[in-house]
Amino acid sequence: MYYSDSIITTMQANKILALKVEEALAGVKDKIISNLNQIGDGATRALYYTSCFTDNYQDVCSKLKHDDKRFIDGVYQLIKDRNIIFEMIRIYIDIHFKNKTEGRVQNVLRKVVAAGVHIYSARSTTNLVVIGIATAICQNYRFGLIVNEGINKISSIHKAARASTVAAVIGLNLYGLVQEAANSANALKNFNAFYYAVLYERNLEMMYFIIEPFITQSMYLNPFLITDDELADLIIKLAR
């Protein structure tokens, strides 16, 4: 569950370990395509930065600088708190249980457990139910794969820098990652402003891109208007 350990390990390593040939070949095609797309996003972001030389577009320039700073703050939080990915999921689930009576919480829990999702904190307080659901989601195999992919995007840039890869390529990759993070944060702000606001307060909205592919497998629903059946279905889909 402590996904940020992979970043810490990477940054503290004295050298990059050699990969086995079969591991290096696995997924090479997808990795190349991903890197090219990321470099393309980086080039686009770099082009946006030319607005800093134009008085009429200083608002665009300020937004770019703001995103860059928020991204750095987010990575810092990710490294500092080994439990931050779990916390992001806990917050997401907690928002959907806000303002729900104990009876409704237990009703949702019964539906989830009846569907075969194992929750450790059955018939407990709302806070413990939320923690139990978040734990079940973080133990989902698909969730682990998606999160590790996001973490590796951050780690790979640092690896490339340590390996003295061409600075321009590193810069475009980094810009591309920041642009991806900014796009994810903006989408979240539009579709779930409640969750965005809490993540922003924690300096984590720019890290949402790590879990976005998993979260968006289910439809965004208004946390304060969601029905018990809809919430139960959402949890079941995320935990399976």
| Model confidence pLDDT, tens digit, residues 116-174 | 998 876 567 899 999 999 999 999 999 999 999 998 888 766 555 454 444 443 445 67
Domain count of the chain? 1
- Decide: residue 208, CB within 10 A, 0-12 exposed, 13-18 middle, 19+ buried: buried
Which letter does DSSP use for residue 111 in this model? H
pLDDT score, position 179:
85
- Considering the domain boundaries, does residue 232 fall inside one? yes
Q: Where is pLDDT greater, at 120 or 196?
A: 196
Asked if 231 and 108 touch (Cβ cutoff 8 Å), the reply is yes
**What percent of the chain is predicted at pLDDT more than 70?**
67
- Considering the domain boundaries, does residue 14 fall inside one? no
Q: For the residues 7-34, what does the mean pLDDT come to?
A: 41
CA angle centred on 157, ends 154 and 163, rounded to 5°: 145
Residue 229 has pLDDT above 90, yes or no: yes
Torsional sign, CA 92, 98, 100, 105: positive
**Beta strand segments in the chain, E:** none
pLDDT score, position 169:
39
Residue 67's pLDDT band (cuts 50, 70, 90): confident
Q: For the residues 205-228, what does the mean pLDDT come to?
A: 91
- Considering the domain boundaries, does residue 22 fall inside one? no
Residue 193 has pLDDT above 60, yes or no: yes
- Considering the domain boundaries, does residue 17 fall inside one? no
State the chain's mean pLDDT as an integer: 77
Rounded to the nearest 10 degrees, what angle do helices 126-138 and 84-97 cross at? 130
pLDDT score, position 18:
39
Q: Which domain holds residue 66?
A: 27-239
- Considering the domain boundaries, does residue 21 fall inside one? no
- Considering the domain boundaries, does residue 5 fall inside one? no
Residue 175 has pLDDT above 60, yes or no: yes
- Considering the domain boundaries, does residue 15 fall inside one? no
- Considering the domain boundaries, does residue 145 fall inside one? yes
